[in-house]
Amino acid sequence: MFAINHGDMGGQYIVLCGKSTKDRSFVSLPEKKIIVVPEGDFSEGIEKDVITFVAALPDEVYAYCKEIYEKEVTNI
């Protein structure tokens, strides 16, 4: 799980639920929305402290977030 420290989404948490060579897909908390971030933007966000790693989630919490992600992805 990552925290977003600045910008329009500042104060939200995002959970990594998918990754490709081009981008990373997250579910945001508490809004439960899907966010797709290009890999370059994600790396830059980490470097500039816009996004910070907070914690590895317990398996059951991650499974819940992944379930939210899967339901939302099928609705897009």
CA distance 12 to 32: 10
CA distance 19 to 49: 20
Q: What pLDDT score does 76 carry?
A: 58
Cβ neighbours for 69, distance < 8 A, ≥ 6 positions apart: 15, 17, 18, 25, 27, 34
Spans of all domains in the chain: 2-74
Cis peptide bond upstream of 30, omega within 30? yes
Identify the CA nearest to 42 among candidates 34, 57, 54, 52: 52
Judged by DSSP in three states, 13 sits in strand
Q: What pLDDT score does 73 carry?
A: 80
**At 72, is the pLDDT very low, low, confident or very high (cuts 50, 70, 90)?**
confident
pLDDT digits (tens, 9 = 90+) for 14-66: 999 999 999 999 999 988 999 999 999 999 999 999 999 999 999 999 999 99
